[in-house]
Amino acid sequence: MFLKVLFLISICTKFLSANVNVELSSEDIANAQTILVKFKADQNEPKIDRIYAAYEGVRYPFYRDKFSKGRSFYALVPTSYYSKVKQTKMVIVYIENGEKFYITYPVSIHEGDYKSEKLKVAPSRAKISLKNKRRIAKEQKEAMKIYHTNTQKLYIKHPLAYPMKSKITSAFGNKRLFNGMLKSYHSGTDFRAKKGTPIRAVGAGRVVLVKKRFFAGNSVIIDHGEGIYTGYYHMSHFKVHKGQLVHKGEILGLAGATGRVTGPHLHFSVRVNGVQVDPIQFLETFNLLVE
């Protein structure tokens, strides 16, 4: 089976149609980074459909690229933080005039330049009551359901911005080690923020969660459509409600220190097609599409 697939890929690559142009934002990425794939079909090519990117065992959909003229599509392909360092590949598959095509791109995954933090105590949940453990599990389940919902409409109209103009105090991806073992990692980017600092939507979208949660405290999640979600945590006050449509720069809430934190700040996170990614690298990569 595997050989058959390889053989198919090798013969089909020769037939790569001249009517199609594919561009990857990078073929050498770190764990937790996102690749933007642009797919452009010639105007004279009437029948191209069912395009997807196969990467690390997952198929990622292509969407119409409304920021480009002509028959353009895009896909956002995330790599998990827990991905191993390796040489892998991405296969772009599409059907043109009823015939299936495969284009293979080599992709290198290297280890991100993430700092290590040594934990002094075991990250056990022993000190968390049974009631809270149940609450945490429920909150996680609810978040996962949101992140795996794919809204077939992109709300974003402009380049994405930062949620506030402030210093980044803790970068995404810091490794949390206990006895030399990776226990967890910092799942977002922290911005320095005094209590009451306005937190703004990085782009247009729909508010899908406004809730006080155990670890994240007062949290807002925005669905930007087409598998893109942003999260804003530890707020002191909410300024939006669930279901509300927000535009880029709209105030979602005020910074605070709610949830499990030592002081006020904004924890900003991004999920793409269900995968937690480096928020800043994501903003830069997505903006390659818009600008």
One-letter identity of residue 230: T
Residue whose Cβ sits closest to Zn ion: 267
Rounded to a whole number of angstroms, the minimum distance from the CB of residue 231 to Zn ion is 10
Rounded to a whole number of angstroms, the minimum distance from the CB of residue 248 to Zn ion is 23
Tell me how far apart the alpha carbons of residues 289 and 38 are, in angstroms, rounded to a whole number. 8
Structure tokens at 286: 């997505």
- Interface with Zn ion (CB under 5 A), residue total 3
What are the respective helix, strand and coil percentages of the chain, to the nearest 5?
A: 15, 45, 40
Looking at 65, 96, 139, 190, which residue binds Zn ion (CB under 5 A)?
190
Name the one range near Zn ion by CB under 5 A: 53-61, 143-151, 181-189, 195-203: 181-189
Contact between 234 and Zn ion (CB under 5 A)?
no
> Got the DSSP string for 62-85?
-EE-TTSSSEEEEEEEE--TTPPS
- By beta-carbon proximity to Zn ion, the closer residue of 88 and 174 is 174
Rounded to a whole number of angstroms, the minimum distance from the CB of residue 205 to Zn ion is 21
Task: Write down the H helix ranges in 158-249.
Answer: none
Name the one range near Zn ion by CB under 5 A: 148-156, 236-244, 262-270, 282-290: 262-270
Name the one range near Zn ion by CB under 5 A: 117-125, 130-138, 186-194, 215-223: 186-194
Tell me how far apart the alpha carbons of residues 76 and 256 are, in angstroms, rounded to a whole number. 32
Q: Within 13 Å of residue 53, how many CA atoms lie on the same side as its CB? A: 28
The set of residues, in sequence order, having a beta carbon less than 8 Å from that of 11 and lying 6+ positions away, is none
- By beta-carbon proximity to Zn ion, the closer residue of 9 and 257 is 257
Looking at 267, 277, 282, 283, which residue binds Zn ion (CB under 5 A)?
267
Rounded to a whole number of angstroms, the minimum distance from the CB of residue 186 to Zn ion is 6
Q: Within 13 Å of residue 111, how many CA atoms lie on the same side as its CB? A: 6
Rounded to a whole number of angstroms, the minimum distance from the CB of residue 216 to Zn ion is 9
Query: Are 72 and 65 in contact, with CB atoms under 8 Å apart?
Result: yes
- By beta-carbon proximity to Zn ion, the closer residue of 68 and 174 is 174
- By beta-carbon proximity to Zn ion, the closer residue of 39 and 282 is 282
What are the phi and psi torsion angles at 198 (to 5°)?
-65, 140
Rounded to a whole number of angstroms, the minimum distance from the CB of residue 244 to Zn ion is 24
Rounded to a whole number of angstroms, the minimum distance from the CB of residue 243 to Zn ion is 26
- By beta-carbon proximity to Zn ion, the closer residue of 188 and 225 is 188
Query: Are 291 and 65 in contact, with CB atoms under 8 Å apart?
Result: no
Tokens 């996680």 belong to residue: 140
- By beta-carbon proximity to Zn ion, the closer residue of 179 and 262 is 262
Rule CB under 5 A: which residues touch Zn ion? 188, 190, 267
